[in-house]
Amino acid sequence: MADTSGHADTKGSGSTAGPPGNTAGTESGPSSRKSSWKYIGPGIVVAATGVGAGDLVATLIAGSNFGYTLLWAAVIGCLVKISLAEAAGRWHLSTGRTLFDGWASLGRWTSWFFVVYVVIWGFVYGAAAMSSSGLPLQALFPDVMDLKWWAILTGLVGLVFVWFNKYAVFEKVMTVLVGVMFVVTVYLAIRVTPHLGETFAGLLPVLPDEKDSILNTLGLIGGVGGTITLAAYGYWVNAKGWTNTGWMKVMRLDNRVAYITTGIFVIAMLFVGAELLHSSNVAIASGDKGLIQLGDILEDEYGTATAKFFLIGFFATSFTSLIGVWHGVSLMFADFVERFRKDRAAAAGAAGATPASGEEVASGTHEKSWPFRAYLLWLTFPPMVLLFQGQPFRLIILYGVLGAAFLPFLALTLVWLLNSSRTPPEWRNGLLSNAMLTIAGLLFVVLCVKQIWDQPWKDFF
């Protein structure tokens, strides 16, 4: 296809004008836009959402325990996620159908898995995201109110922001917060003065000489940059107005930017863990409170200003994950409900029941629909109970199992969809895509089995 830049994009033959970024088509099909930095957007959103406080703590602990030894694993983790997000975006653009519509074509079991997952996962994640966003605010303003009230405030702000704004405003705010994250993490990495020789040595694939080093390494690879947000990437691509193969080059550049950005965040925090914690034999707690500990260590080493600066970056990291999930997973849930309604209409013999399409997402109707807003409310209000009562034991186990199962589900279903007749031949997986997605699927299956094995099942029953 001929490349054009700055000209109207087109759809397939006979199509009519669509949402911004797409105009009437010709018989030759959509023209291919040149990959250009000016279009970048969904990748920034998926990077910001995918890198949460938990990812930063996991990377800090890896640096604290092993120095630079596992730097190569963090890089591979980014490459694996590039493959997954690219595959999700390619499905949306090449077929014009949403990812959930693709899943539904594989059988009803996918719908059951998805709905159970988003209901349980959303309930527990809502509390975790609000708490994570409230922690740095409580540390910045310690005498104002308790953590649970800060958490509730961040949840309500996220709800109002996503409820009243469409994708374009959401993307702009996420970009600003990513800028804050980027400046803070890079500043910290420079401030701790990494040893370049050890850094380059860390790019060699060497396993630490410790118990369970293989599983710990696989965990670092699998934990870099998002779970369900990888599936949401295709929806954000559509919400941007990219709905056909003319945007494929742009999407691929956008996706690479996403995971280069993610890589910078992760590597910067590995530097901090290696230099500030590993060299001093300082251990921090897992989970979000580990970042509060890091803030105290930074204050002792570099002063109050650096500690405050870090807490601002911590808040940006947590809050982007919160509003990213509030928007992206709500889009997916709205698509699930729309597909369910269309299936019922088709079963009743209604005319015009068609598959869910990227055009619907691009039109912005999902963002104002009742299922979108219902899931927003589900993410915000029921989880507040957990902030006061603590997280129920059995629910946390189910949350861990479902969360561990989602990435194998995503990787293996993408292999299935993108090698079948559901995808146009020219956009099916090549050898490299199949290899990366298969490796990702196997990696996540191993991590899923470990996660399930490690759950305290004897206390569950």
Helix/strand/coil for 33: strand
Q: Which pLDDT score is estimated for 350? A: 54
Q: What are phi and psi of 26, to 5 degrees?
A: -130, 170
Q: With CA atoms as reference, report the closest residue to 74 among 62, 86, 87.
A: 62
Range in 54-68, 95-109, 199-213, 330-344 with the lowest mean pLDDT: 199-213
pLDDT in tens, 136-145: 999 999 989 9
Report how far residue 367's alpha carbon sits from residue 301's, in angstroms, rounded to the nearest whole number: 46
Six token digits for residue 451: 């996660």
Report how far residue 200's alpha carbon sits from residue 363's, in angstroms, rounded to the nearest whole number: 47
Report how far residue 414's alpha carbon sits from residue 407's, in angstroms, rounded to the nearest whole number: 11
Report how far residue 127's alpha carbon sits from residue 130's, in angstroms, rounded to the nearest whole number: 5
Helices of type H across 390-461? 393-418, 431-454, 457-460
pLDDT in tens, 313-367: 999 999 999 999 999 999 999 999 988 887 777 666 655 556 668 899 999 999 9
Helices of type H across 27-70? 42-50, 53-66
The single-letter code of the amino acid at 454 is D
Six token digits for residue 199: 């850094």
Q: What are phi and psi of 279, to 5 degrees?
A: -70, -25
Report how far residue 89's alpha carbon sits from residue 84's, in angstroms, rounded to the nearest whole number: 9
pLDDT in tens, 238-269: 999 999 999 999 999 999 988 888 888 888 98
Q: Which pLDDT score is estimated for 225? A: 58
Which single residue is written with the structure tokens 């989602």? 406
Rounded mean pLDDT, 116-128: 92
Q: Which pLDDT score is estimated for 30? A: 67
Q: Which pLDDT score is estimated for 218? A: 77
Report how far residue 234's alpha carbon sits from residue 226's, in angstroms, rounded to the nearest whole number: 14
Instruction: Tell me the residue length of the chain.
Output: 461
- Confirm whether pTM is higher than 0.75: yes
Helix/strand/coil for 303: coil
Q: Are 300 and 200 in contact (CB under 8 A)?
A: no
Helices of type H across 165-303? 167-191, 196-201, 213-222, 228-239, 248-272, 289-302
Contacts of 106 (CB under 8 A, 6+ apart): 413, 416, 417
How many CB atoms neighbour CB 298 within 10 A?
23
Q: With CA atoms as reference, report the closest residue to 70 among 192, 217, 213.
A: 217
- DSSP classification of residue 274: I
| pLDDT cut 70: percent of the chain above it | 88
> Cα 7–10–13 angle (5° rounding)?
150
| pLDDT cut 90: percent of the chain above it | 51
The single-letter code of the amino acid at 187 is Y
